[in-house]
Every structure is written in C-alpha cells, then in structure tokens.
Amino acid sequence: MTAALDIILLEPHALRLQAMLAKDEGAESAAYMRFGVAQIQADPWDGGPRTRLVSHGFVEIEDLEKISASPVHVTWSTRGYMRLLSEAAAEHFVPGIVHTHPGSFAFFSRQDDLNEAELARTAAVKGAQGLVSIILGGDGTVRARMWRPDGSPIDACAVQAVGGRFRRWPEAEVADVGGSHLERQARLFGLGFNPLIRRLKVAVVGCGGTGSAVAMLLARLGVGHVLLVDNDIIEETNLNRVHGSRRADAKAGALKIDVIEREIMAADLGVRVAKRKGWVNDPAMRDALKACDFVFGCTDDHSGRIILNRLAYFYGIPVIDVGLRMAAAENAGHDVNGRVSTLSPGRPCLLCGGVVRPQRASEEALERTDPGEFERRKREAYVIGAGDPAPAVVTFTTEMACVAVNEMIAAVTGFHGEGGMVSNRLRRFHAGDDRFLAAKQNEDCQVCSTNRFWGRADIDPFLDLVG
C-alpha cells in the first residue's frame, strides 16, 4: 500500500451512509464496510503510485451488538468485528469501520485515534491488509483514513461518492483554477465547480468522431487531466468529423491521439494530456484507466466496450458510453440514432441494454490476433464481420459528444435532476425526440445484477475475464 490514498464510495453504499446520519435521533451510529483494492502503479499524469479503495459491501451493526450510543460516542461488541476480519482475510478485501459525528463536521477525535489504533492492531494480527476508518459529519462532510498493518494511519487525499452523482471531499480549494477563462461557467454552477472539474482525471477511449469532440469539450470545460486512448491514425475519410484533424495529418498518417493532444496544447488552457497508443483491451492500458474519475467510451468496437462495461462495476469509475447508428432508408427518410449510456453499480450494464454483442467481441479479438484465420472464417461465413464502413456525419457525432459530456456535468452539479446522470438516452435525430430507455437488469447478468463484483477492484484475472 502506497502513501497516496483515495477512496470511492459507490452510490448504493453512500446512500446507506447518509441514512445512518438520519437515524437514532442524533446519536452516533456505526457500521462495517468492505473495500476492494486498486493498486495504481503509475498515475498517467504525475507518474506516482496510488492505492485506491472502492467500497465493496456494507454491513450494518445489528442493534443487539450495540452496547451504547449517544450524540458523542458509540460502542459495540467486537463479535461482528472479528467475523468481518476473518472474511476480509479469506476473501482479500480491506475491512472498514464507519461512524457518525451527528453534531459536528467530520474529524478524527482523540478517542477515535485511541480506539482505532486498537482495532487496527487486531486487524493486523488477523492478517488484514489494513483498516479503513470513515467519519461522517452531521454537516455532510466526510473524512477517511487507512491504518496500515504497521500501525501508521494515512489520510485519504480524496473521498468520492460515485454513481448518478459525483461528490468529492474535501471540497476543492476555490483559489486555483488556472486563469479567469472559466469565469462564465462559475456564474452558472458556482465557485466550487471549476476547482472540482480541474482536479478530475478523465479518459477518452476512442478518439474518432465522438471521442475527438469529447476531448475538445473536456479541455474547454477546464478538466485538468485528460487521457487519450486510441490505436489509429488519421485517414482521409476521418477528416469529415475528427475535430482538430487536418489534411496534412492524413497524408502523414498522424496518430489520432497526437493530433488531439496537439490541438489541446495549442489552446494553452492549462490542461494536462496523457495518451496511450493501443486498444483498450491491451493489459498495458489497465493501470491508466484505474487512475481515472470518469471514462468516456467512444469506441465502436464490442470487445473494448466489454472491458469498459466491467470496469465501471469492478472499479466504481463511471463510464459514459456513446454510440451512433444511422442508415439511409430507401423510401422512408432516414434513421439516425445517437445513444448515451451511463454505467455504475446499481444501474443496468451495456450487456443488459443490448449494446454489446459478445459474439462480435470475440470476432474482433480474432481479427486482431489472427487476421488470416479471421478472413478464412469470414469466407466460410462462420463470422458475421463488420461489413461496410458505417455512415458518419460530424453534426450527429459532435452533438452526441455534447450529450455525453453534459452527463458528466450533471453528475457533478445535478443540473438536470438530483439523480444526476441519465441511465440511457436515445436521441432520434430523424424524429426529433429523446427516448429514455428503461433497460432492465437481466436477472442472470454476471456484471450488473449481483453486487458480487461491485467495487471488487483488483482481482485475478482482471475484471474476471477469462481468455
């Protein structure tokens, strides 16, 4: 475990924490939690290692275990705690304790220091990788730290509640937003908006028509850290929609990630760009993705979407996935659809939404690793293949990029509803309306219908994907 630590509370767990504050008429209350561990070897922007803990489960302390509780203290029997520690050792998660300070802001009291040191010693003896402690203040503030097995505590540099909404503690310093160019949006969203956005680390996976527009919008919006992931070069046929691309780039065979980086840097808005050339399926991408706060899925391949789909649930990183489908109908006008889906634990995944087709995903993998075999099977009609290039029009791809980035803004501000991000929006350009598809969680969906993988973070194999 490194010295840099941040903690993600999944929305279903964060809601239960909030409910703890509301009950017991102002008395302190307590609960146990389980955390998955994400070890980030090198942050794509500062290069430093980081440990990120993701809430994996929530265990309320039963009333009969509670010995006493008042507005300034809570004590409980250690029976449940010992059970938590044995499970943590067997299932490789980090145990956590959480308690409320209903009458004040969140801080660690002297009594907390003493109690936790004792509990942490017990955890270390029982073989736990550490002990997380979270305090909820009555004013809505949150503080967290982790006791390492050697008995030393480290404070979390950030705690974020993540789901339809995105909230982060401590709230960012208002002072530094790197210039006054963002002043107009602070007039709408308040002084806290720009510093929060500045600290965000956001990946754009796929830098084509929608991805290039998303990246440019993020830079204008003042997102401080943008990660570009793509394997392709600019081709002549991309010039109709990839923002920032020039004819000279197509002639030179420039990489899409290089072109977009160049344009963002030329604008000189204080945005730090990291980039990775490759496919999102490549194991070399994992570490960088794990370090992000939001991921935009702007790829049109199914195997990439399968990875991002799981990432959202395993690591508690909201994924905003964009797709377009358009066709010229012969007699009956056009069929032009844009979709934005937002993924996080508690919401239906892309498999349940019918967006990802596993068969196409394995074909794509074959095409990449063994093109000869892929062509042979295609000739013999064993694989469907991608067919002709899909139509693409810059106004539609760019508009859906705006819809996607607006969902991130909605997560941070709640501007289109307290629930934040819309789960599934289908924009029917030909009909001039938006439909909100209530995709249902498939009962036997391995990814989203059980909480088995929620916040599980690092496991072997990665994302529990075999082969």
Q: Which of 177, 215, 260, 351 binds Zn ion (CB under 5 A)?
A: 351
- Closer of 288 and 340 to Zn ion (Cβ): 340
Q: DSSP label at 316? A: -
Site string for Zn ion, 59-98 (x = CB under 5 A): ----------------------------------------
Residues 196-255 that bind Zn ion (CB under 5 A): none
- Closer of 106 and 264 to Zn ion (Cβ): 106
Alpha helices in 33-190, H assignment, sequence order: 79-91, 110-125, 183-189
Give the interface segment with Zn ion, choosing from 60-68, 90-98, 251-259, 446-454 (CB under 5 A). 446-454
- Closer of 140 and 253 to Zn ion (Cβ): 140
Q: Shortest gap between Cβ of 278 and Zn ion (angstroms)?
A: 26
Q: Shortest gap between Cβ of 28 and Zn ion (angstroms)?
A: 7
319 is a contact residue toward Zn ion (CB under 5 A): no
Output the residue with the shortest Cβ distance to Zn ion: 445
Q: Which of 6, 11, 43, 112 binds Zn ion (CB under 5 A)?
A: 112
Strands 30-40 and 153-155: unpaired
How many residues lie near Zn ion (CB under 5 A)?
8
Q: Shortest gap between Cβ of 315 and Zn ion (angstroms)?
A: 16
Do you know the residue count of the chain?
Answer: 467
Q: How far is CA 236 from CA 213, 251, 284, 389, 416, in A?
A: 18, 8, 29, 14, 38
CB atoms within 10 A of CB 104: 15
Q: Shortest gap between Cβ of 317 and Zn ion (angstroms)?
A: 17
Of 102, 172, 176, the C-alpha closest to 140 is: 102
Q: Shortest gap between Cβ of 71 and Zn ion (angstroms)?
A: 11
Q: Which of 352, 400, 405, 410 binds Zn ion (CB under 5 A)?
A: 352
Q: Which of 65, 287, 445, 451 binds Zn ion (CB under 5 A)?
A: 445
CA distance linking residue 151 with residue 156, whole number of Å: 16
- Closer of 39 and 441 to Zn ion (Cβ): 441
Give the interface segment with Zn ion, choosing from 64-72, 225-233, 350-358, 362-370 (CB under 5 A). 350-358
Q: Shortest gap between Cβ of 66 and Zn ion (angstroms)?
A: 15
For residue 1, the Cα-to-chain-centroid distance in whole angstroms is 21
- 116: its two tokens: 């936790």
CB 320 within 8 A of CB 421: yes
Quick check: bond before 170 cis, omega within 30? Answer: yes
CA distance linking residue 173 with residue 259, whole number of Å: 33
142 is a contact residue toward Zn ion (CB under 5 A): no
349 is a contact residue toward Zn ion (CB under 5 A): yes
DSSP element (H, E) containing 98: strand 94-101
Q: How far is CA 331 from CA 327, 328, 428, 460, 462, in A?
A: 12, 9, 18, 52, 48
Q: Shortest gap between Cβ of 350 and Zn ion (angstroms)?
A: 7
Of 313, 302, 139, 299, the C-alpha closest to 229 is: 299
- Phi and psi, residue 291, nearest 5°: -85, -5
- Closer of 77 and 240 to Zn ion (Cβ): 77
Give the interface segment with Zn ion, choosing from 102-110, 249-257, 374-382, 402-410 (CB under 5 A). 102-110
- Closer of 57 and 137 to Zn ion (Cβ): 137
Q: Which of 257, 324, 409, 448 binds Zn ion (CB under 5 A)?
A: 448
- 68: its two tokens: 């006493």
- Closer of 404 and 447 to Zn ion (Cβ): 447
- Closer of 52 and 302 to Zn ion (Cβ): 302
- Closer of 7 and 172 to Zn ion (Cβ): 7
Give the interface segment with Zn ion, choosing from 154-162, 299-307, 351-359, 374-382 (CB under 5 A). 351-359
- Closer of 119 and 352 to Zn ion (Cβ): 352
Q: Shortest gap between Cβ of 311 and Zn ion (angstroms)?
A: 14
- Closer of 112 and 293 to Zn ion (Cβ): 112
Quick check: bond before 461 cis, omega within 30? Answer: yes
Cross-sheet strand order for the sheet of 225-230: 272-277, 225-230, 201-205, 294-297, 319-328, 334-343, 424-428, 433-436
Of 454, 460, 42, 462, the C-alpha closest to 282 is: 462
Residues at the contact surface with Zn ion, assessed by CB under 5 A? 109, 112, 349, 351-352, 445, 447-448
